[in-house]
């Protein structure tokens, strides 16, 4: 049985930021697509449907990137704080215990 005593704050923050950023981007993308579909179904526009679609795709991608950056920033902060809190508690009461076994690939090396 091995124990995780310390988590590097910056490495956890990076991974969490990537996860949050991807989730934020895809959430914004789904919202943009559903908005386009809703506008077209309701015919709630004036002019060319193609221009409305292109405008909303551009706006959706812009918002997707913006949301991804904001959620990535939030993810980085959350990952950093989580590692800080974990390290403090691990120092007081012990870390998470993990049972590890060697795999066939590790034995071949």
Per-residue pLDDT reduced to its tens digit, 34-71 = 877 887 787 766 777 777 777 777 887 888 889 999 99
- Region 16-20: what's the mean pLDDT? 96
Instruction: Please tell me the pTM assigned to this model.
Output: 0.72
What's the 3-state SS for the chain?
A: CEEECCCCHHHHHHHHHHHHHHHHHHHHHHHHHHHHHHHHHHCCCCCCHHHHHHHHHHHHHHHHHHHHHHHHHHHHHHHHHHHHHHHHHHHHHCCEEECCCCCHHHHHC
Q: What is the pLDDT of residue 12?
A: 95
Q: How do the domains of the chain map onto residue ranges? A: 2-108
């Amino acid at each position: 049985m091995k124990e995780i005593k310390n988590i590097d704050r910056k490495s956890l923050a990076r991974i969490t930021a990537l996860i949050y950023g991807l989730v934020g981007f895809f959430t914004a993308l789904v919202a943009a697509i559903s908005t386009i579909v809703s506008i077209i179904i309701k015919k709630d526009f004036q002019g060319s449907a193609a221009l409305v679609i292109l405008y909303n795709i551009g706006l959706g991608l812009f918002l997707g990137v913006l949301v991804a950056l904001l959620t990535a920033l939030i993810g980085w902060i959350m990952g950093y704080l989580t590692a800080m809190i974990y390290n403090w508690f691990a120092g007081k009461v012990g870390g998470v215990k993990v049972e590890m076994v060697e795999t066939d690939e590790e034995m071949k090396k």
